[in-house]
Chain A
């Protein structure tokens, strides 16, 4: 099987011929690095889909290398919306930057009993591993590089809808600019999430919550009226 990898020093992807079947892409790249080409550069960690280190794009779609089993001719490329440091390693400051912008943390979580059902509501959102697959897949960054974006907004919803939280108004205020209203609801972030999270849905919930608190969609107030949040690209 031949795997093509986009390297940072060359225009054309580099091909590696390997004799493997039914193994993960990470297993293959580890074989290449340790036996064939030690200069091939990528990130890895847990090998089991929880550390979020090894996200790349295969044939244009975001995957975790430790979960994806490649086919002959697959093209492996670095994530989008971040500058490439080398080969498949990209600059990673977006995680910290957007989480800080969106105040993605607990303000104060009350003690006391909470029902199983109430906690189920944030189970999936808190499965996030910050692999940034959703961020790479998001088309909004092409027009707004400051967009708070899918992983951070899901994280906001995770805290806002936590049954133990009491103070969420400041969090809602923090995501009005370059936040929930900048999302086009195109849904590109949903199928790429390795943890089955649907940021688009969480953003929709945050919009509803914002409307209930009196916030309005700024796109609507400019008199356009025809933009129903459909993608403009």
Chain B
């Protein structure tokens, strides 16, 4: 029986786990917290699928392709959309408590950029309920969980370019461990947390798996494409779901006038909000006219969060909002089997680039992607492991990583990394945010290069071996720095505007020069980059 190691216990990881288990593999899921604490719990809007009349799979494909602004792969998008109905039915048979419409069918709502209401939802808790339903099914299947293991590196046999497992820090004990497997799936989520207080993401979305992948020799694709959600709460960047606009919410400027089509694609709406904030100082989401009964039932989470974080009640007040970093379209490059350029190393979900979202993701397509590709990836990883057993090759990764952790613990601490982390987040929001230009991007790159040089002068101040979250956060910061350099360089090189990547100095799309993916990889530690079809 092949052993499949899955790194990450969010939606993508758990779907892959169930699928690999069903294909006969022994499955181990390693997560840096607990599975139910992952980013997926925060997804609100829904999961796209064509269920009824008045919509078609062809329309779903066309909407997704259009939104991807030339960087979506038509075959991959078709694969996702054609399997959407089956994915939603599969979730239903597992017990996901979808909301229902008057006829008793799974209820759907319209999200931005969609030509029909096709986001199947469970109130505004779609991600939470999907995640918990999956977790319960994993318990039923007897899947092994290794919780509170923080990924350090993928173990790769350099001779054969074959993944053999991974090393991790056992957070409670402080020990470095290795887990060997026939195949490894990265399902570690995106890198939105590098925008700090300007991100809707969980603090754990630090791109650990993507950084580990490029260190392991895998290629990354399109890291410059980061989606900004149009409506995050102004002071905390906490997400207010697109479903609030789908249900008829308005966007108002400082004069309390509408200024844009609320249901345009996210990149367009977010930039319109950005421009209004720059010129008028504020933008609000107005859902007062939807009424208390509707808000209390359909948007309970939004109401609670606005009350806690902005001190206002959306039933009676305008909600102050701003765009915030929300989703990483870029990620680990994978083929149509979800395998990376390292043999036996797979990636799925937000950490991967399945080329389904291209330059801009549609709301409701990320939960769909993780279910469709999770099922595909788990099965492929199990089959790969079954056909190509990994021999017990000697590998010194665990020794290297044990030494690395010891070394980090003795770093000099002349410079406070939390302060630098805030600097990075501010520079990224301003210079690598919704509107970018060459000089701003280069200034960001200078800041990154400086921080990179200074890393050995930072380090954890906490010297405890047991449960050292200061150490974990420092290594996460290292991953953020590693990825931020790639993002900035990719954004500088892409001297055009496309989807979520908008260059104020080059506002036009240029298919002749840039109608291709930004591929990045490392050779002997040196970052290489190229545009490839």
Contacts and interface: CB of A to CB of B under 8 A. Distances in A.
A146 interface: no
Nearest to A117: B100
A211 interface: no
A59 B104 CA distance: 46
B147 interface: yes
A159 interface: yes
A61 interface: no
B139 A96 contact: yes
A165 to B, nearest CB: 7
B202 A126 contact: no
B104 A115 contact: yes
A44 interface: yes
A81 interface: no
A39 B97 contact: no
Interface string B99-133: 11111110000000000000000110100110011
B92 interface: yes
Contacts of A106: 93-95, 133, 136-137, 140
A100 B140 CA distance: 7
A45 B204 contact: yes
Chain A, interface SS category:
loop
A48 B136 contact: no
A52 B36 contact: yes
B300 to A, nearest CB: 9
A174 interface: no
Given A41-B469, A46-B41, A130 B132 contact: yes
Given A105-B95, A114-B100, A129-B36, A45 B203 contact: yes
A38 B470 contact: yes
Interface stretch (A84-92, A185-193, A198-206, A218-226): A84-92
Interface string B305-336: 10011010000000000000000000000000
A196 to B, nearest CB: 9
Contact of A85 (B105, B136, B172): B172
Given A100-B139, A105-B95, A113-B104, A38 B36 contact: no
A85 B466 contact: yes
Contact of B100 (A100, A115, A128, A129): A115
A47 interface: yes
Contacts of B139: 96, 99-100, 104-105
B33 A53 contact: yes
A114 B202 CA distance: 34
B366 interface: no
B423 to A, nearest CB: 12
A144 to B, nearest CB: 22
B460 interface: yes
B311 A129 contact: no
B462 A162 contact: no
Nearest to B200: A48
A177 interface: no
A6 B311 CA distance: 29
A139 B137 CA distance: 29
Given A38-B460, A47-B238, A86-B464, A109 B94 contact: yes
Given A51-B42, A51-B202, A127-B128, A99 B136 contact: yes
Contacts of B462: 38-39, 41
A162 B95 CA distance: 8
A121 B455 CA distance: 53
B301 interface: yes
A130 B105 CA distance: 29
Contacts of B467: 41, 85-87, 89
B301 A50 contact: yes
Contact of B129 (A111, A126, A164): A126
A24 interface: yes
Given A38-B460, A114-B104, A46 B202 contact: yes
B203 A44 contact: yes
Interface in B453-473: 460-462, 464, 466-470
Contacts of A51: 36-38, 41-42, 202
A82 interface: no
Given A45-B202, A129-B41, A155 B36 contact: no
Nearest to B103: A113
- The 9 lowest CB-CB distance pairs between A and B, nearest first, are A113-B104, A106-B95, A105-B136, A34-B418, A86-B467, A105-B140, A39-B462, A51-B37, A38-B470
28 contacts: A24-B309, A38-B418, A41-B469, A45-B37, A45-B204, A46-B37, A47-B238, A48-B239, A49-B301, A50-B128, A52-B36, A53-B33, A53-B37, A86-B466, A89-B172, A95-B34, A99-B139, A105-B95, A106-B93, A106-B136, A106-B137, A119-B100, A128-B132, A130-B34, A155-B136, A159-B136, A164-B92, A164-B95
Given A33-B470, A53-B34, 12 more contacts: A33-B418, A38-B418, A43-B37, A46-B41, A46-B202, A48-B301, A51-B38, A52-B36, A95-B36, A106-B94, A116-B99, A159-B95
